[in-house]
């Protein structure tokens, strides 16, 4: 059965369930834009930015195509390390709903919080909401969006769930598929650093609130830990965290200031002899 689109976002990558959106972007859309519009058709001037899902997409495109894009500004991205898939470690945890290691009580795992730390929604509640809204991964909500993009095709041609929506039991074969097909971006970057690292120096810039409402800062910390310890080459990028109690959507700059920062980066990276003044007006 051919792939079917189950969510309203392609995540800008190829997917067994959703189709070859990554190829369409790279081989159809970008060439179309560059052929018909007044843009600089060189890698140093192709810069990326996005927040939340767009942050994940920006990082994915930059690391999948390190020579094609010149830099990425990555804001509060969806989980970039699946050891912190929100609060779930999809590789080691057996159950997404409960926190392991407790003898006399079984704490519920949160998926959403206020910026002061107050939990608002549990993984169990959100999973069962999705099961109520639509069968076979068709709720259109976040967890099933990730399963559609990152996961394998399951029974009947629909996405195979990462965990059972009623019990929380994690399917570790699905987790391994997500990792081995490059969707755990920290794992992808670490595994491929000898090949892609030299082409990513100075290109990765991360921004996230220290109390992201969906715990996404925790995965960013894990990626930072790897990148800050890179050698041959050192990544030479940046991480900036909003403090104190900054949630999902925090940005340290306005969009106009971001555009200025991008323009300055492009100017600095322009090859010798390039007339940067021709497009700055």
Tell me the pairing of strands 110-113 and 19-20: unpaired
Q: Is the pLDDT of residue 2 over 90?
A: no
Pick the range with the lowest mean pLDDT from 72-76, 98-102, 199-203. 98-102
Sign of CA dihedral 151, 153, 159, 162: negative
In this prediction, residue 68 carries a pLDDT of: 98
Residue 281 pLDDT exceeds 70: no
Query: Of 167 and 273, which is predicted with more confidence?
Result: 167
pLDDT(12) > 60: yes
pLDDT band at 101 (very low <50, low <70, confident <90, very high): confident
**231-252 confidence digits (pLDDT tens):** 999 999 999 999 999 999 999 9
Tens digits of residue pLDDT in 123-145: 999 999 999 999 999 999 999 99
How high does pLDDT run on average in the chain? 94
DSSP the chain: ------SS--TTSEETTTEEHHHHIIIIIHHHHHHHS----SGGG-EEEEETHHHHHHHHHHHHSTTT--EEEEESPSPSSGGGBTTB-TTT-SBSSB-SS-SS--PBPEEEE-TTS-EEEEHHHHHHHHHHH-STT-S-SHHHHHHHHHS-B-GGGSBPPSB-TTT-BB-HHHHHHHHHTT-SHHHHHHHHHHHHGGGTTT-EEEEEETT-TTSHHHHHHHHHHHHHT--SS----EEEEETTT--TT--SS-HHHHHHHHHHHHHHHPPTT--GGGT--
* Contact residues for 237 (Cβ-Cβ < 8 A; gap 6+): 200, 202, 203, 204, 205, 206, 227
Q: What pLDDT is attached to residue 1? A: 47
Domains of the chain, by residue range, sit at 42-81+184-281
Q: Which two tokens stand for residue 76?
A: 């509060």
Count CB neighbours of 263 within 10 A: 15
Higher pLDDT, 223 or 5: 223
Q: What is the pLDDT of residues 32-78, one digit of tens each?
A: 999 999 889 999 999 999 999 999 999 999 999 999 999 999 999 99
DSSP per-residue codes, 255-268: HHHHHHHHHHHHHH
Q: Could you read off the pLDDT of 179-188 as tens digits, one per residue?
A: 999 999 999 9
The pTM (predicted TM-score) of the whole model is 0.95
Q: Which CATH superfamily includes the segment(s) 42-81+184-281?
A: Alpha/Beta hydrolase fold, catalytic domain (3.40.50.1820)
Q: With bands split at pLDDT 50, 70 and 90, how would you rate the model's confidence at 4?
A: low
CA distances from 211 to 112, 128, 252, 274 (A): 10, 25, 15, 42
């Amino acid at each position: 059965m051919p792939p079917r689109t189950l969510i309203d976002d392609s995540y800008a990558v190829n997917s067994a369930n959703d189709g070859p959106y990554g190829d369409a972007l790279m081989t159809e859309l970008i060439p179309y834009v560059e052929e018909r519009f007044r843009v600089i058709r060189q890698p140093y001037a192709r810069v990326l930015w996005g927040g939340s899902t767009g942050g994940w997409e920006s990082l994915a495109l930059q690391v999948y195509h390190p020579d094609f894009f010149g830099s990425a500004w990555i804001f509060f991205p969806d989980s970039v390390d699946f050891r912190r898939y929100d609060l779930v470690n999809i590789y080691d945890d057996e159950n997404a709903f409960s926190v392991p290691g407790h003898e006399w009580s079984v704490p519920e795992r949160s998926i959403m919080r206020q910026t002061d730390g107050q939990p608002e929604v549990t993984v169990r509640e959100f999973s069962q909401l999705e099961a109520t809204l639509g069968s076979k991964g068709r709720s259109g909500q976040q967890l099933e969006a990730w399963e559609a993009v990152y996961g394998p095709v399951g029974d009947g041609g629909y996405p195979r769930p990462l965990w059972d929506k009623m019990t929380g039991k994690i399917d570790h074969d699905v987790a391994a598929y997500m990792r081995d097909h490059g969707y755990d971006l920290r794992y992808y970057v670490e595994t491929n650093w000898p090949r892609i690292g030299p082409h990513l120096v100075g290109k990765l810039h991360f921004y996230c609130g220290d109390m992201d409402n969906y715990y996404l800062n925790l995965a960013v910390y894990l990626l930072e830990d790897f990148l800050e310890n890179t050698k041959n080459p050192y990544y030479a990028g940046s991480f900036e965290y909003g403090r104190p109690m900054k949630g999902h959507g925090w940005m340290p700059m306005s969009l106009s200031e971001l555009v200025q920062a991008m323009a300055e980066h492009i100017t600095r990276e322009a090859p010798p002899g390039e007339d940067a003044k021709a497009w700055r007006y």
